[in-house]
Amino acid sequence: MAVSDFLKKFFPKSLWVYHLNTGACNGCDIEVINVLTPYYDAERFGIKLVGSPRHADVLLVCGPVTRQARSAAKRAYEAVPAPKLVFAIGSCACGGGIWHDSYNIIGGTDKIIPVDFYVPGCPPRPEAILYGVAVALGLAPKKSAPVYARQKFLDVVEAKSLAEAASQAPDQR
């Protein structure tokens, strides 16, 4: 089930979010707070910041998961009543960022709890976070896609080497 269908079924009215910092540098935290200011006004979509994971529908996770924060993050995730969603905000929460191989970092958020939506950026613009929420709510189409680029000359060379191998094969017998 796509995230937007899931949201329409289980969260038809509004999302209450709990902001969980698992070791962020505060950049993403500031951007998350920025989304709630009158300029970006996420309360238009019924999004409200709550003070306890037990009141929340969505966890907004910022920062790479440090060894200190692992058990706390797991407990916060378990405290959210099901059905629940996890949004990873920022490069650190998505894949570990510049600390992905540090000794005290476990990795991105998906290493310890399942993540439903990723918002990359360092920090993401407030617009990017709003866009992520809008995509999750089904208000906007998803734009990013994997990119596979290849030099045209490589096709020529590989075709040539394949032809050479085919022509040499009878000689080797």
Partner 1 sequence: MIISKLKEALICLKAGRVTLPYPFAPHDPEDGFHGRVVVDAEKCVGCGGCAEVCPPRCIEVTDPSPEKRVLEFFLERCTYCARCAEVCPEDAVIVTKEFETATNDLEDMHMRVEVFMSTCRRCGRCYEPPTPLDRMMVTGFRPPTGESEGA
Please report, as ranges, the residues that interact with partner 1 according to CB under 8 A. Answer: 2-3, 38-41, 44, 91-92, 94-98, 100-101, 108, 110, 116-122, 124-125, 127-132, 134-136, 139-140, 142-154, 157-158, 161
CA-CA distance, 159 to 154, in Å (whole number)?
8
Looking at beta carbons only, is 79 or 127 nearer to partner 1? Answer: 127
- 51 or 153: CB nearest partner 1: 153
Listed in order, strand segments (DSSP E) in 4-96 are: 16-21, 48-49, 58-62, 65-66, 85-89
CB closer to partner 1 out of 30 and 75: 30
- The H or E element spanning position 164 is helix 152-172
Nearer to partner 1, 25 or 50 (CB): 25
What is d(CA 91, CA 122) in angstroms, rounded to the nearest whole number? Answer: 6
The Cβ of residue 132 has, within 10 Å, a number of other Cβ atoms equal to: 23
We find the least distance from the C-beta atom of residue 127 to partner 1, in angstroms, to be 6
Question: What is the closest distance, in whole angstroms, from the C-beta atom of residue 169 to partner 1 in the complex?
Answer: 18
